């Protein structure tokens, strides 16, 4: 039983070790079409870059020294 769990964990760990290479088109493959409103075809590096909307900054300020939290009118109990 332990061996099967250890084997499953080892295989799961190996599955996460993928190759990390730059994205490129295969020979004969066409690039994706230009999106509506875009003025140029984006390069693979541009497609994998996150914008501010995709990764927003932390919205709330952290609490220090056990300060009281402000009342939150949207913090409702489950219904």
The answer to whether 10 and 16 are in contact (CB under 8 A) is no
Query: Residue 57 has what DSSP assignment?
Result: P
| 42 C-beta neighbours (distance < 10 Å), count | 14
Per-residue pLDDT of 35-63, as tens digits, reads 888 888 777 777 777 776 666 666 666 66
Is 0.85 topped by the overall pTM?
no
The answer to whether 70 and 61 are in contact (CB under 8 A) is no
């Amino acid at each position: 039983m332990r061996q099967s769990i250890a084997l499953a964990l080892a295989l799961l760990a190996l599955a996460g070790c993928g190759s990390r290479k730059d994205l490129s088109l295969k020979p004969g493959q066409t690039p994706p079409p230009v999106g509506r409103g875009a003025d140029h075809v984006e390069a693979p590096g541009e497609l994998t870059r996150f914008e501010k909307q995709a990764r927003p900054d932390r919205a709330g300020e952290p609490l220090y020294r056990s300060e009281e939290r402000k009342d939150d009118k949207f913090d409702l109990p489950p219904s």
